[in-house]
Amino acid sequence: MIFALLFTLQVVAPPASRRVAVTFDDLPVVTQSPDDSVRARITRDLLAALVRRRVPITAFVNEGKLYDHGTLDTARVRLLEQWIAAGEDLGNHTYGHIDMNVTALEDFERDVLAGERITRPLLARAGKRLRYFRHPYLQTGNDSTKREQFETFLKRHGYVIAPVTIDNSDWMFAHAYELALLRADTQVALAIQQSYFAYMDTVVGFYERQSQLIVGREIPQILLLHANALNAASFDSVAGIFRRRGYAFISLAQALADPAYHQPDRYNGPDGITWLHRWAIGAGMPASTFAGEPEVPKLVAEFK
């Protein structure tokens, strides 16, 4: 696509003074297609872009996606093996991506353990270990007792919680983009992709300002994306956005070493929100703190 090629061109990127850890959710793939060849193509193209851009990734697996009508699909397991072979790390995103707020704690914990049966031995065979957990929908529990008990469970099983500081609606763009491709409407797909690039640039700027406002400085950010066809086709350009804004790509472990991530998260509520916003609520900052978050354009939000 001409626009995507043009968008990746840079004059001279500024020295990398900012840092970002990139994470992907909902592995092996988010797609509306039942065809495993589509999953394979998305994985191949996405990993190729990550390798080209030399981006260390932690990608979070929903092991329920590895099954087809209750039967383990070895082709989907091989997709996880490709992530590991590319040098990327895998984390646990539960088996079924269920809602913690409406699920009994013991049932949620069982879903976490079910979500590591394949991933943990795959990592072990590569000399790695399963370290990180990410809550589905970024929901950490809507009451303090349940949350504390679950965090004790995670520690007992060797997990570190993977926060997010740059959230976005890439999944909405991806849904519209894939629908357009399924209809062979390449012009609309291109328009959606262009809109996605502009949106992501404004999102990154918003969270830069949020970091300054809430923490008092720009911390190493943690970006949430999803493993889908849009990002497979667009990650080179998304990476270019970060490069032009002066970012270096770092690992999740490097980001979490920053003191900001050692401060307590006092938010207890139903919403799945970024850790920047959790810290702000915990500090009693006013609602006006959160004003100005970029909106998804109507082209995408109303696409059917």
pLDDT digits (tens, 9 = 90+) for 50-82: 999 999 999 999 999 999 999 999 999 999 999
57 occurs within a structural domain: yes
25 occurs within a structural domain: yes
212 occurs within a structural domain: yes
101-125 pLDDT tens trace: 999 999 999 999 999 999 999 999 9
284 occurs within a structural domain: yes
262 occurs within a structural domain: yes
Kind of pairing, strands 71-72 and 89-92? unpaired
What is the model's pTM? 0.94
- Joined together, the tokens standing for residue 31 give 């797609």
DSSP-assigned beta bridge partners for residue 67:
72
* CATH number of 189's domain: 3.20.20.370
Q: Shortest CA distance to 45 belongs to which of 34, 31, 61?
A: 31
Does the structure show a pLDDT above 60 at 11?
A: no
Does the structure show a pLDDT above 60 at 8?
A: no
Q: What is the mean pLDDT of residues 203-232?
A: 98
188 occurs within a structural domain: yes
3 occurs within a structural domain: no
| C-alpha dist (Å) from residue 11 to 234, 240, 257 | 19, 11, 32
Q: Shortest CA distance to 115 belongs to which of 61, 169, 180, 67?
A: 61
The number of domains in the chain is 1
132-176 pLDDT tens trace: 999 999 999 999 999 999 999 999 999 999 999 999 999 999 999
User: Domain range holding 223?
Assistant: 16-301
Q: What is the mean pLDDT of residues 45-52?
A: 97
246-266 pLDDT tens trace: 999 999 999 999 999 999 999
- What long-range pairs does 260-266 form, CB within 8 A, spacing at least 24? 260/215, 260/219, 260/220, 261/163, 261/219, 265/140, 265/163
Transcribe 24-56 into DSSP letters: EEEEEEE-S---HHHHHHHHHHHHHHHHHHT--
7 occurs within a structural domain: no
